[in-house]
Amino acid sequence: LCATCGPEPCAHAACSPELTGCPLPPEQLSAVLAATRETRARAAEERRATARHLAETETRYRTLLEVAQDGIATTDTVGTVTYANPRLGALLGVDRDALVGRPVFELVAPEHVFAARTRFARRQRGIAETHETMLRHRAGHGLWVNVSASSLTDADGAFAGVLYTVSDIEPLKAV
């Protein structure tokens, strides 16, 4: 610790032997060190502010997904469910966590699986569409739904999976 500067790093050669031989006079070196400390403090505050903003944004979007009145799911590149919101689980009569890790094709009624695989291949080519299909409810009956499906891409623009939005149209089909 420096008797003059206290606990802060200082420019006195006796306190900071690594500075011995520095071409700057001690006053200038002190100013440079102070500016460096100030810059580091600003950068640290910017990182904290960015982290807070990111956390707030993530919370806002997660809330939107969690409270949506439509079922929402994402898959990876081969059709394995990577996310399902609570509404999709409720539509299928299962906890949404039970859907994650399952092939999306297992959620579709057997007579609709071929069409689901064909549509998935279109997502792999970047084609988005909306269609009606029948899903399998845990109780064994079919559930008519309207599905909007879009491709997800990674930072390089490569196919990364599919985003599904699922609306229950069973009451409309019953009429």
Tens-place pLDDT, residues 60-109: 888 888 889 999 999 999 999 999 999 999 999 999 999 999 999 999 99
**Residue 1: what pLDDT?**
46
**Residue 122: what pLDDT?**
97
Is 113:106 a contact under the CB 8 Å cutoff? no
Please check the confidence at residue 47 and state whether its pLDDT lies above 50.
Answer: yes
**Residue 33: what pLDDT?**
81
Please check the confidence at residue 18 and state whether its pLDDT lies above 70.
Answer: no
Query: How far apart, in whole angstroms, are the C-alpha atoms of residue 82 and residue 74?
Result: 6
**Residue 147: what pLDDT?**
98
Is 74:163 a contact under the CB 8 Å cutoff? yes
Query: How far apart, in whole angstroms, are the C-alpha atoms of residue 53 and residue 113?
Result: 42
**Residue 20: what pLDDT?**
56
**Residue 168: what pLDDT?**
96
* Centroid of chain to Cα 111: 33
Query: How far apart, in whole angstroms, are the C-alpha atoms of residue 119 and residue 122?
Result: 5
Whole-structure pTM value: 0.72
Alpha carbon distances (Å) from 37 to 31, 43, 163: 10, 10, 46
Query: How far apart, in whole angstroms, are the C-alpha atoms of residue 80 and residue 86?
Result: 17
